[in-house]
Amino acid sequence: MSNDKVSNDMDTSGPSSSSSAQQHNMGLRRWQLENNISDISVDAIYKYDNEEQQMIRSVKPWRKIRTTSRK
C-alpha cells in the first residue's frame, strides 16, 4: 500500500461524529433511567447517616445471603 494514498475511513470531522456523540449520550441517559441512576454530589457519597447505619445493623442483611455448602 502506498503512503501517498490516505484512507478517510476514520474521518471524525463530519456530521457523523456529532451524531455518534448524540447516540452515545442518548444511550447513556436511557441506561441511567432504566437502572435508576441518580445524580448526587460527590460529597454525598461520604455522608455518614447514623439512623441508616443502625437500621442496616438491625436488619443484618449479611445473614440472609445464602452460600453453597462446602464439602
Alpha-carbon span 5 to 44, nearest angstrom:
54
Q: pTM higher than 0.95, yes or no?
A: no
The 10 Å CB-count burial string (b at 16+, else e) for 11-33 is eeeeeeeeeeeeeeeeeeeeeee
pLDDT at 34: 94
pLDDT at 15: 54
Which sequence spans correspond to the domains of the chain?
Answer: 39-71
pLDDT in tens, 11-67: 445 556 789 999 999 999 999 999 988 888 888 888 899 999 999 999 998 888 777
- What's the grid cell of residue 53? 447505619
Give, as one character, the DSSP assignment of residue 42: T
Alpha-carbon span 3 to 71, nearest angstrom:
65
Q: Is the pLDDT of residue 6 over 50?
A: no
Residue corresponding to grid cell 456523540: 21
Q: Is the pLDDT of residue 1 over 70?
A: no
